[in-house]
């Protein structure tokens, strides 16, 4: 046939086949153009938006499909104590308006290249538009929830301290979280959860939803206050008063020294503690002060005794100094011994007068002489006739010693009633003394009730001689009637029954 087309073949191609091919190409191009034109308003093949295939869909069609998917949504609210409520699209009046963003995606597509998309990887888009709920519907729905009903709400309570009456200590009372919600904060949290399409909103883990207590049990200031209060209550302080009586300051006392501030909170208030210490020391002073009032004496037979005392005897607590010491110990949580502080200290507080003294026991009709706390001599005696010329009781001292003298007594008109000679005269008060009474045949017993002296202390001759050699000027002489100290009815009253001035007014009638 030769190397090329024949002329006949060429004529056939030019007249029939070529026009047919051109026509076919023209038709195909027209069809492609038509197809390209439709993608101006429809999404290209392989287009996925928010996971939905929107190929060949218009904006309205794609938006409808997306809305159906997005609005088919419910949110579960998890409240305190694991209570749950579910809000659906009707409760929230959900909306998903994404037309503008779909239009933006569509405008970015090249419709002419649609054929390429038929054979390319799918194009996926994620919308920035979020699912929204209607604010008015949300507010109404939330208000209707039982968890927001005022009758069901538990108010939050701060952690606090309580006083335990059983063991007299303070305990930490934990806070109560309560169930009161901030409705505005809750609405904001719901809107955020809806926009993120979260299925569960756990309100226990969401900041600011529940109104929280201002003070929790781990609060440093509250813990410090608890420790301070219990430190105060842990103090145990002993005060030993001049008569040996011990007073203990412990939680039974200090529990009443704890203040309550204007907020109603238990506190350790330094000013209140100072006032309480001052009041407490004042009660000690009322009991213990005896300067110019009384003096304690540890008797041979009756234990501790109290006597009226003139200003040359006794002591007074320095209340200011002692209160300050007590306050310091309390605030420092310091247990131990609080030594009394005396502002006036006229003589030794020793209830045995330094250990050397004469004791005359009227009830026992006995005289005791002690040196350096040891009994070195004792004997019977006869004191003043009881109820008539009783020997005065009280605290005295040897004022005069005389070897050999007459004791004279006078009547009311000045006439000499009697005159008795004694070898050993030891005066302890003007016209009253210890002396020998050689006219008596016996001593002791109940002689003093019917045939006693005129007020002096009568002694056997040998006893008077012995005591005269022992006693020095200013030796204390304590005369008592022996009533038990524990039997006294009033703290500040003496047990002395015979210190009235009438006894001293009869001084001129003293004698044997």
- Asked if 398 contacts 473 with a C-beta cutoff of 8 angstroms, the reply is yes
Among 376, 373, 361, 387, which Cα is nearest to 452's?
387
Phi-psi domain of 292 (left: phi exceeds 0; alpha: psi -120 through 50; beta: other): left
DSSP state of 293: T
| pLDDT for 447 | 96
- Asked if 512 contacts 420 with a C-beta cutoff of 8 angstroms, the reply is yes
Secondary structure string (H, E, C) spanning 109-171? CCHHHHHHHHCCCCEEECCCCCCECCHHHHHHHHHCCHHHCHHHCCCCECCEEEEECCCCEEE
Report d(CA 234, CA 251) in Å as an integer.
Answer: 6
| pLDDT for 107 | 85
Its pTM stands at: 0.53
- Asked if 492 contacts 293 with a C-beta cutoff of 8 angstroms, the reply is yes
Among 246, 474, 233, 207, which Cα is nearest to 339's?
246
| pLDDT for 309 | 58
Greatest pairwise CA separation for the chain in angstroms: 202
Report d(CA 356, CA 376) in Å as an integer.
Answer: 10
| pLDDT for 505 | 34
C-alpha 8: how far from chain center: 123
Provide the b/e sequence for 130-159 (b: ≥16 CB within 10 Å).
Answer: ebbbeeeebeebbeebebbeeeeeeebebb
Report d(CA 13, CA 11) in Å as an integer.
Answer: 5
- Quote the tokens at residue 155: 């108010």
Among 340, 317, 298, 475, which Cα is nearest to 396's?
475
| pLDDT for 415 | 85
Q: What is the pLDDT along the chain (512 residues), one digit of tens a residue?
A: 445 556 666 565 555 555 555 555 555 455 555 566 787 888 888 899 888 898 888 988 888 888 888 878 899 999 998 899 999 989 999 888 888 888 888 888 876 676 777 778 888 998 888 888 999 999 999 999 999 999 999 999 999 999 999 999 999 999 999 999 999 999 999 999 998 889 999 999 998 999 999 999 999 999 999 999 999 999 999 999 987 899 999 999 999 999 999 988 999 999 999 999 999 999 999 988 876 666 778 899 998 887 765 545 567 899 999 999 999 999 999 999 999 988 865 555 577 887 899 999 999 999 999 999 999 999 999 999 988 889 998 888 999 999 999 998 887 788 888 889 999 999 999 889 999 999 999 999 999 999 999 999 999 999 999 999 999 998 999 999 875 434 443 333 332 333 333 333 333 344 45
Domains of the chain: 222-345 (3.10.20.800), 353-509 (2.40.440.10)
| pLDDT for 140 | 94
Among 376, 357, 375, which Cα is nearest to 480's?
357
Among 366, 359, 367, 371, which Cα is nearest to 298's?
359
């Amino acid at each position: 046939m030769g190397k090329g087309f024949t002329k006949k073949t060429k004529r056939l191609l030019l007249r029939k086949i070529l026009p047919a091919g051109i026509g076919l190409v023209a038709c195909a191009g027209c069809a492609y153009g038509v197809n390209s034109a439709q993608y101006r308003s429809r999404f290209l093949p392989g287009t996925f938006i928010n996971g939905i295939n929107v190929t060949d869909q218009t904006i309205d069609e794609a938006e409808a499909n997306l809305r159906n998917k997005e609005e088919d949504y419910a949110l579960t609210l998890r409240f305190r104590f694991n209570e749950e409520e579910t809000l659906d699209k009707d409760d929230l009046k959900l909306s998903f308006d994404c037309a503008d963003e779909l239009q933006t995606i569509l405008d970015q597509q090249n419709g002419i290249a649609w054929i390429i998309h038929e054979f390319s990887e799918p194009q996926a888009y994620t919308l920035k538009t979020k699912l929204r709920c209607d604010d008015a519907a949300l507010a109404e729905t939330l208000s209707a929830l039982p968890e927001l009903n005022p009758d069901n709400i538990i108010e939050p309570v701060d952690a606090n301290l309580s006083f335990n009456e059983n063991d007299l200590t303070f305990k930490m009372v934990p806070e109560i979280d309560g169930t009161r919600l901030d409705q505005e904060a809750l609405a904001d949290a719901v809107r955020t959860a809806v926009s993120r399409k979260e299925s569960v909103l756990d309100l226990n883990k969401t900041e600011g939803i529940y109104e929280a207590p201002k003070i929790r049990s781990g609060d440093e200031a509250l813990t410090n206050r608890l420790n301070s209060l219990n430190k105060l209550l842990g103090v145990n302080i002993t005060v030993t008063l001049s008569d040996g009586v011990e007073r203990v300051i412990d939680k039974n006392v200090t529990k009443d020294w704890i203040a309550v501030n204007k907020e109603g909170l238990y506190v350790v208030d330094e000013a209140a503690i100072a006032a309480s210490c001052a009041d407490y020391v004042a009660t000690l002073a009322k009991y213990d002060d005896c300067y110019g009032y009384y003096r304690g004496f540890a008797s041979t037979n009756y234990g501790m005794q109290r006597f009226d005392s003139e200003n040359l005897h006794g002591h007074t607590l320095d209340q200011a100094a002692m209160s300050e010491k007590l306050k310091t110990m309390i605030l420092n949580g310091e247990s131990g011994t609080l030594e009394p502080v005396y502002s006036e200290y006229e003589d030794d507080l020793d209830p045995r007068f330094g250990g050397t003294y004469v004791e005359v026991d009227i009830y026992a009709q006995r005289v005791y002489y002690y040196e350096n706390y040891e009994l070195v001599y004792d004997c019977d005696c006869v004191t003043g006739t009881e109820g008539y010329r009783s020997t005065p009781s009280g605290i005295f001292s040897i004022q005069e010693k005389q070897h050999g003298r007459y004791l004279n007594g006078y009547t009311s008109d000045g006439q000499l009633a009697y005159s008795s000679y004694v070898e050993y005269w030891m005066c302890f008060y003007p016209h009253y003394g210890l002396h020998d009474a050689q006219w008596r045949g016996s001593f002791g017993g109940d002689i003093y009730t019917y045939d006693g002296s005129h007020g002096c202390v009568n002694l056997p001759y040998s006893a008077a001689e012995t005591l005269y050699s022992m006693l020095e000027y200013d030796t204390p002489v304590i005369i008592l009637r022996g009533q038990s100290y524990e039997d006294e009815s009033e703290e500040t009253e003496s047990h002395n029954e015979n210190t009235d001035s009438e006894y001293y007014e009869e001084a001129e009638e003293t004698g044997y």
